[in-house]
Amino acid sequence: MSAVASLSTSLPQFDTTQAEQVIEGSIALTGNYGGAASHGDTLDLSLLGAQSQQLPIRVDIFEKSPAGAAPSGNIYRYMYGTTQANGSLSVFQGNGTEYAQASAYGSPPFAITGFALGFRAYFPTFL
């Protein structure tokens, strides 16, 4: 029941531009998808080394499908928490319906196998 964010090692780790710090990495999914109250899995961004302690401005989550593989069509959303440590990853079907709570990753109805999830998080640098 967790989603773990880690830094990308194949790209420069930090890209600081005027008012934002951009951090890229991947997300590992384990266990089952969230609980009824959480609408997803906790996604802790506090260990990524952002210069700011503020919430991210924006977080993009995307599939990193290999060439020749069909993408799942899922929609991945970062849901803001009250700190960088308690946001969550919510997964929706292509039609916008959230997946049922407590479904195992990689088994029906989830088609989250054969690829990795990537993310790009934008943090404010002025605080």
Distance (Å, rounded) from C-alpha 87 to C-alpha 45?
Answer: 8
pLDDT value for 35: 61
**Continuous H helices in the chain:** none
User: Which residue in the block uniquely carries the two structure tokens 């943090």?
Assistant: 123
98 touches 39 (CB < 8 A): yes
| Per-residue pLDDT tens over the stretch 11-25 | 555 555 567 888 999
Report which DSSP code applies to 32: B
pTM above 0.85, yes or no: no
Report which DSSP code applies to 40: B
| Per-residue pLDDT tens over the stretch 17-65 | 567 888 999 998 877 777 656 778 889 999 998 888 999 999 999 988 8
- Alpha-carbon distances of 113 from 44, 78, 105, 106, 117, rounded to whole Å: 22, 20, 8, 5, 10
